[in-house]
Amino acid sequence: LSSERNKRWIGWTGKILVDEKGKVSNSWMGRNFAYKPIIVNSKENLLGKIVTVEVSETFGTYLKGEAIKEQKDTGS
């Protein structure tokens, strides 16, 4: 049931707060506004950071997403 509900999150883009290291090398887990666990791969230490992600997959009770680099507006 939870895996069916999680499929609705595929394509969602938003911010997560990374609060722990993942079980796999170079992976991090954060949670979004709905407290959904989202796994992100990154060689950079993301612990304690707010990261913008796009959810691409679901795995049972958690989601997997890709970190999105935010474009800085230079004003020119």
CATH number of the domain that residue 49 is part of: 2.40.50.140
Domain extent at residue 28: 2-67
**What is the tally of structural domains in the chain?**
1
Question: How many Cβ atoms sit within 10 Å of the Cβ of residue 70?
Answer: 9
- Token pair in block for residue 4: 């069916």
DSSP string, 41-74: E-SS--TT-EEEEEEEEEETTEEEEEE-PPPP--
Q: What's the pTM value of the predicted model, to 2 decimals?
A: 0.86
Task: Quote the CA–CA distance of 42 and 46 in Å, as a whole number.
Answer: 8
Give me the percent of the chain exceeding a pLDDT of 70: 89
Tell me the per-residue pLDDT of 45-64, one tens digit each, with 9 for 90 and over: 999 999 999 999 999 889 99
Distinct helix (H) and strand (E) counts, the chain: 1, 5
Answer yes or no: is 73 within a domain.
Answer: no
Answer yes or no: is 75 within a domain.
Answer: no
Tell me the per-residue pLDDT of 9-29, one tens digit each, with 9 for 90 and over: 999 999 999 999 999 999 999
